[in-house]
C-alpha cells in the first residue's frame, strides 16, 4: 500500500553526496530518480552518462564516415554523384523533423522503454496494450537489426582491408565474412557487459575519433587524389547515373536508403536515459545535436567523395576490393595510405557497433521488464556487480547473430538487415507521434518543447517516415528473381505476424496478461529502507502484500470480479467510500474502476463512449480524474481523503495516529508518518512557485497527492470529506 519510496518528491534540500535529496537526515531520491519513479519505475541502473556522453551514444551509432562506407554501395547505383550529394541533403533535412518530434517525447518522459511506453500512455484504452506490444517488438527488432547491419558492414570492411593488404589476391567467402561477423558480435557483447561508468567514459573517445576521422577525410581526400580522378562541379553535383533498371525518379528515391540508414537509431539516447543525469534535457540534446552534426558533416563528406572519385562508377562497384569507398580511397591514397585510413574507419565502426548494441540491450531490458518478450523473467536481470543488464546484452547479440544468417541466402537477403532497421524503427517512431496528437490524454511537455510548431513538425516527420518505409520494402530492381528480391517485408512481416500470434494466442497470449508498462517502483525487500530508496539493494522480487483480495501493492487494480463485490468486507478499506457512493452497484463500481485506472479491462468493464468519457460517472468525478491526470503521477487516480492545511510549520511534526482505529500496522504507521512530512513540504513548495491559495489536498491511493482549488466539486461525491480537519495522510471514511 503506501510505501515511502513511491514518493516522487520529498525535499528542497540537496545533499552534497551523490546528488541525493534528504529530509530529516533520511536519504531519498535524486531528481532523475524522482521523475523515473513518477513514470512508475525504480532506479535499477547506474546514472553515469553525462549530457555529452549521452550525445556520444547517438553520435557514435550514427558513425558518419564508417556508415557512409557501409552504404555507399546503395547510393552509387541509384543516381551516382547526384544521389550521393542531393539525396543526402534532402533526407538529412527531413530526418531532423523526426528527431525534433521524438525529442519532445523524450524530454517529457525519458525512460528506457521510450517508444512503446509513450504509445501506451497516449493511445486509447481499447488499443493501448496491443499498440504498445507491437511498437515494442518493432523497436526491438529494428534496433537489433541495426546491430546486425552495423556489424555486418564492419565484417565486410575488415575483409576489404584484407583484400587490399593481399594485393587483391584474397577474395572473401560468405562463410569467412560471417565468421568475422560472429567474432565482432562476441567482442561487442563483452564490452557492453562492463560497468556503466566504463561505457560512459568510452563515448568521450568515440566522439573525438569520429569527428577527427571525418575532418581528415574532408581535408585529405581532395589533396591526395590524382588529377585523373578529380571531377568538376557539373559532374559532381549534376551527373545522374542509374544502374538498377527503375525510372530515374524512383532510383533517386531508392538512394535515400544510404542517408536514412546512416542517420538512424538516434532514439538510442532514450534507451540510455535511465543511466543519464539530467535526462529530461540530455535526451533531446543528444538527439537533435547528433542528427544536426551528422547531416552537415555527412553532406560535406559526400561532397568530398563526389569531387574525387572519378567517373568510372562501374569500376568502383565491381572492384575486387569489394567495398566502393575503399576502392575510391585506394585510387586516391594508394595501398599504404588506404590501409592506414581504413584501419581508423574500422575502429570507428567497431565503436559504432558497441554503442548500438548498448542501446539495443537497454530496449530489450526495458521491454522484458514490462513482460513483453518471451523469457522476460530471464532477460530482465541486472548484474549485481556491474549494475548492467548483461543478460539483455547477450540476448540482443544472439538475435543479431541469427539475422546475420540471411547472408547465406544471397547479397539481396543480407541487404534486408539494413532495410529492417529502417522500417522497424520508422514504425516504432510513427505510432507514438501519432498517438500523442490524437490522444485525449493531455501532453505535459518537458524542458524541450516546440509549442505551436509541434504539430506541423510531427506531420512532416510522420509523412516522411511512411513514405520512405514504403519505398524501402520494394526490391532494388523492377523484376527481381529469388536472389535480388527484397527480403525486408519477409523478415519484418514475419516478426509482426509472430508478435500478433503471440499476443492473441489462446490462454497464454499477451492479451490475457500484458497490461503495458509494469510499475516496479514500490517493490520492497528486507534491506534497509534507505538502501531501497537509493536503489543500492539487490533486485527486489517480493511485492508488498495488501489486506484485500485482488489488490496489488499500488492499489491501482480495484476488485472487479462479481464474487468480490457481494459485501463491503471484500472491498479494501481505502475504497469503502467509493463502494458506498456507487450504491453497492457492481455496474457502477466497474465504471468507477475503468475511469480511475484509465485503461480498459477485458473482464466486463464499462466501455468509454466516443468522447473517451464514462457516462455512468458524475461530472465531479470526471473533473477530479482529469485534474489528477495532468500531474503524470506514478499511477492512475484513486481518491481517498481530503486534507486542509494553510500553514507549514518550520519543523513539521508527525501526527500521532491511533493505530487500532486507523487499521494500520506499525510499519504502515511509520510510512504514513513519513508521508505526512512530504505533504507539508509539498504545500510550501507548490504554494511558493505558483501562488495558489492552497487549502485542500486530496490523497490519491497510496500517497500520491493532488492540489485542488475547487474542493467544493467533491462535496456531492464525498459528502463528509469537507468536514475532515486531520493532518493524517490516509483516512478511513
- Last residue of one domain, picked from the residues 512, 536, 563: 512
What is the Cα 360 distance to its own chain's centre? 10
Q: Please report where in the chains the cell 525519458 appears, as a residue.
A: 110
Indicate if 487 and 623 belong to the same structural domain. Answer: no
Q: Provide the domain limits for residue 226.
A: 45-512
In whole angstroms, give the CA distance from residue 389 to residue 282: 22
| pLDDT for res 526 | 27
Indicate if 507 and 656 belong to the same structural domain. Answer: no
| CA dihedral sign, ordered 518, 522, 527, 528 | positive
In whole angstroms, give the CA distance from residue 243 to residue 313: 10
Residue 292 belongs to some domain of the structure: yes
Indicate if 506 and 631 belong to the same structural domain. Answer: no
Indicate if 502 and 630 belong to the same structural domain. Answer: no
Indicate if 79 and 200 belong to the same structural domain. Answer: yes
In whole angstroms, give the CA distance from residue 256 to residue 422: 11
| pLDDT for res 580 | 52
In whole angstroms, give the CA distance from residue 35 to residue 57: 22
Give the residue among 685, 628, 675 at the shortest CA–CA distance from 654.
675
In whole angstroms, give the CA distance from residue 310 to residue 225: 10
Low-confidence ranges of the chain (pLDDT < 50): 1-27, 522-579, 581, 593, 595-614, 616-618, 620-621, 623-625, 627-733
CB neighbour list of residue 299: distance below 8 Å, 6 or more residues apart: 85, 88, 89, 92
Indicate if 634 and 497 belong to the same structural domain. Answer: no
Collapse the DSSP code of 209 into the 3-class scheme (helix H, G, I; strand E, B; otherwise coil) and give the result.
helix
| pLDDT for res 552 | 28
A 10 A CB-CB count for 523 gives 18
Residue 578 belongs to some domain of the structure: no
| pLDDT for res 458 | 95
In whole angstroms, give the CA distance from residue 49 to residue 271: 12
Q: Please report where in the chains the cell 559526400 appears, as a residue.
A: 302
Contact 599, 518 (CB under 8 A): no
In whole angstroms, give the CA distance from residue 301 to residue 323: 17
Mapping DSSP onto H, E and C, the string for 204-229 reads: HHHHHHHHHHHHHHHHHHHHHCCHHH
Q: Cα angle vertex 732, ends 699, 656, to 5°?
A: 85
A 10 A CB-CB count for 396 gives 31
Q: What total of structural domains would you count in the chain?
A: 2
Q: Tell me the β-bridge partners of 706.
A: 698
Q: Tell me the β-bridge partners of 27.
A: 22
In whole angstroms, give the CA distance from residue 526 to residue 514: 28
C-alpha cell at 238: 549534376
Which phi and psi angles does 56 have, rounded to 5°?
-60, -35
In whole angstroms, give the CA distance from residue 601 to residue 608: 11
> What is the biggest distance separating any 2 CA atoms in the chain, rounded to whole angstroms?
94
Indicate if 498 and 630 belong to the same structural domain. Answer: no
Residue 575 belongs to some domain of the structure: no
In whole angstroms, give the CA distance from residue 22 to residue 196: 25
- Last residue of one domain, picked from the residues 464, 491, 512: 512
CB neighbour list of residue 233: distance below 8 Å, 6 or more residues apart: 307
| pLDDT for res 547 | 28
Task: Give residue-wise pLDDT tens across range 60-74.
Answer: 889 899 889 888 888
C-alpha cell at 455: 504539430
> What is the rounded radius of gyration, in angstroms, for the C-alpha atoms of the chain?
28
Residue 230 belongs to some domain of the structure: yes
Q: Cα angle vertex 245, ends 244, 250, to 5°?
A: 85
Indicate if 503 and 628 belong to the same structural domain. Answer: no
Residue 551 belongs to some domain of the structure: no
Q: DSSP letters of 680-721? A: HHHHHHHHHHH-----EEEEETTTEEEEES-GGGGTTTSTTT
A 10 A CB-CB count for 344 gives 17
Residue 592 belongs to some domain of the structure: no
Contact 252, 78 (CB under 8 A): yes
| pLDDT for res 724 | 33
Contact 702, 8 (CB under 8 A): no
Residue 33 belongs to some domain of the structure: no
C-alpha cell at 481: 528473381
Indicate if 625 and 504 belong to the same structural domain. Answer: no
- Last residue of one domain, picked from the residues 470, 497, 512: 512
Residue 570 belongs to some domain of the structure: no
Indicate if 76 and 212 belong to the same structural domain. Answer: yes
| pLDDT for res 462 | 95
Collapse the DSSP code of 620 into the 3-class scheme (helix H, G, I; strand E, B; otherwise coil) and give the result.
helix
Which phi and psi angles does 61 have, rounded to 5°?
-65, -40
**CATH code (residue 380):** 1.20.1740.10
Would you tell me the crossing angle of helices 128-165 and 324-369 to the nearest 10 degrees? 150
Element at 155 (helix H, strand E):
helix 128-165
pTM: 0.67
Indicate if 64 and 193 belong to the same structural domain. Answer: yes
Amino acid at each position: 500500500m503506501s510505501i515511502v519510496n513511491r514518493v516522487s518528491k520529498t525535499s528542497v534540500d540537496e545533499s552534497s553526496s551523490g546528488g541525493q535529496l534528504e529530509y530529516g537526515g533520511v536519504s531519498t531520491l535524486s531528481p532523475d530518480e524522482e521523475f523515473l519513479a513518477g513514470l512508475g519505475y525504480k532506479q535499477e541502473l547506474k546514472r553515469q552518462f553525462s549530457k555529452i556522453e549521452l550525445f556520444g551514444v547517438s553520435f557514435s551509432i550514427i558513425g558518419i564516415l564508417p556508415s557512409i562506407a557501409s552504404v555507399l554501395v546503395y547510393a552509387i547505383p541509384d543516381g551516382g554523384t547526384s544521389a550521393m550529394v542531393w539525396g543526402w541533403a534532402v533526407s538529412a533535412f527531413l530526418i531532423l523533423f523526426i528527431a525534433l518530434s521524438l525529442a519532445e517525447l523524450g524530454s517529457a518522459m525519458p525512460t528506457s522503454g521510450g517508444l512503446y511506453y509513450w504509445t501506451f500512455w497516449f493511445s486509447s484504452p481499447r488499443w493501448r496494450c496491443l499498440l504498445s506490444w507491437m511498437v515494442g517488438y518493432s523497436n526491438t527488432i529494428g534496433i537489433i537489426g541495426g546491430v546486425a547491419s552495423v556489424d555486418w558492414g564492419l565484417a565486410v570492411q575488415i575483409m576489404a582491408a584484407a583484400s587490399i593488404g593481399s594485393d587483391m589476391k584474397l577474395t572473401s567467402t560468405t562463410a569467412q565474412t560471417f565468421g568475422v561477423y560472429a567474432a565482432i558480435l562476441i567482442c561487442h557483447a563483452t564490452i557492453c557487459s562492463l560497468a556503466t561508468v566504463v561505457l560512459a567514459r568510452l563515448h568521450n573517445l568515440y566522439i573525438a575519433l569520429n569527428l577527427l576521422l571525418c575532418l581528415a577525410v574532408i581535408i585529405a581526400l581532395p589533396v591526395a587524389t590524382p588529377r585523373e580522378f578529380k571531377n568538376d562541379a557539373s559532374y559532381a553535383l549534376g551527373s545522374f547515373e542509374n544502374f538498377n533498371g527503375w525510372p530515374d525518379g524512383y532510383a533517386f528515391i531508392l538512394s535515400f536508403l544510404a542517408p536514412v540508414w546512416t542517420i538512424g537509431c538516434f532514439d538510442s539516447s532514450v534507451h540510455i536515459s535511465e543511466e543519464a543525469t539530467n535526462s529530461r534535457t540530455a535526451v533531446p540534446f543528444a538527439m537533435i545535436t547528433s542528427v544536426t552534426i551528422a547531416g552537415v558533416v555527412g553532406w560535406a563528406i559526400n561532397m568530398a567523395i563526389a569531387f574525387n572519385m572519378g567517373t568510372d562508377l562501374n569500376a568502383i562497384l565491381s572492384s575486387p576490393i569489394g567495398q566502393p569507398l575503399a576502392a575510391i580511397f585506394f585510387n586516391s591514397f594508394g595501398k599504404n595510405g588506404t590501409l592506414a585510413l581504413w584501419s581508423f574507419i574500422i575502429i570507428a565502426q567497431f565503436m559504432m557497433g558497441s554503442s548500438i548494441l548498448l542501446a539495443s540491450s537497454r530496449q530489450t531490458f526495458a521491454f522484458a521488464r514490462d513482460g513483453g518478450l518471451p523469457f522476460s523473467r530471464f532477460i530482465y536481470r541486472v548484474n549485481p556487480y556491474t549494475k548492467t543488464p548483461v543478460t539483455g546484452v547477450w540476448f540482443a547479440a544472439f538475435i543479431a547473430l541469427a539475422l546475420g544468417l540471411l547472408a547465406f541466402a544471397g547479397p539481396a537477403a543480407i541487404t534486408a538487415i539494413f532495410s529492417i532497421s529502417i522500417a522497424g524503427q520508422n514504425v516504432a517512431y510513427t505510432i507514438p507521434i501519432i498517438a500523442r496528437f490524437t490522444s485525449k490524454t493531455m501532453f505535459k511537455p518537458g524542458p524541450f518543447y516546440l509549442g505551436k510548431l509541434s504539430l506541423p513538425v510531427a506531420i512532416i516527420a510522420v509523412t516522411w517516415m511512411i513514405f520512405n518505409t514504403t519505398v524501402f520494402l520494394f526490391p532494388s530492381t523492377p523484376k527481381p528473381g529469388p536472389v535480388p528480391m527484397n527480403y525486408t517485408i519477409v523478415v519484418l512481416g514475419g516478426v509482426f505476424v509472430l508478435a500478433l500470434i503471440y499476443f492473441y494466442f489462446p490462454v497464454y497470449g499477451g492479451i490475457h496478461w500484458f497490461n503495458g508498462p509494469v510499475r516496479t517502483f514500490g517493490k520492497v525487500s528486507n534491506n534497509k529502507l534507505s538502501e531501497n530508496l537509493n536503489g543500492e539493494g539487490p533486485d527486489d522480487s517480493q511485492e508488498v502484500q495488501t489486506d484485500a483480495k485482488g489488490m496489488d501493492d499500488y492499489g491501482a487494480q480495484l476488485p472487479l470480479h462479481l464474487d468480490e463485490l457481494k459485501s463491503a468486507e471484500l472491498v479494501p478499506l481505502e475504497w469503502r467510500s467509493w463502494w458506498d457512493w456507487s450504491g453497492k452497484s457492481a455496474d457502477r463500481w466497474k465504471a468507477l474502476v475503468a475511469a480511475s485506472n484509465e485503461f480498459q479491462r477485458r473482464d466486463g468493464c464499462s466501455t468509454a463512449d466516443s468522447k473517451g468519457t464514462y457516462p455512468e460517472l458524475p461530472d465531479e468525478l470526471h473533473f477530479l480524474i482529469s485534474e489528477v491526470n495532468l500531474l503524470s503521477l506514478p499511477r492512475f487516480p484513486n481518491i481517498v481523503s481530503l486534507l486542509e492545511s494553510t500553514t507549514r510549520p518550520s519543523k513539521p511534526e508527525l501526527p500521532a495516529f491511533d493505530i487500532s482505529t486507523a487499521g494500520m500496522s506499525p510499519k504502515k504507521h511509520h510510512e504514513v508518518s513519513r508521508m505526512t512530512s512530504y505533504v507539508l513540504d509539498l504545500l510550501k513548495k507548490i504554494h511558493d512557485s505558483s501562488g495558489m491559495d492552497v487549502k485542500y489536498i486530496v490523497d490519491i491511493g497510496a500517497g500520491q497527492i493532488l492540489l485542488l482549488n475547487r474542493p467544493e466539486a467533491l462535496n456531492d461525491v464525498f459528502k463528509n470529506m469537507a468536514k475532515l480537519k486531520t493532518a493524517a495522510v490516509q483516512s478511513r471514511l
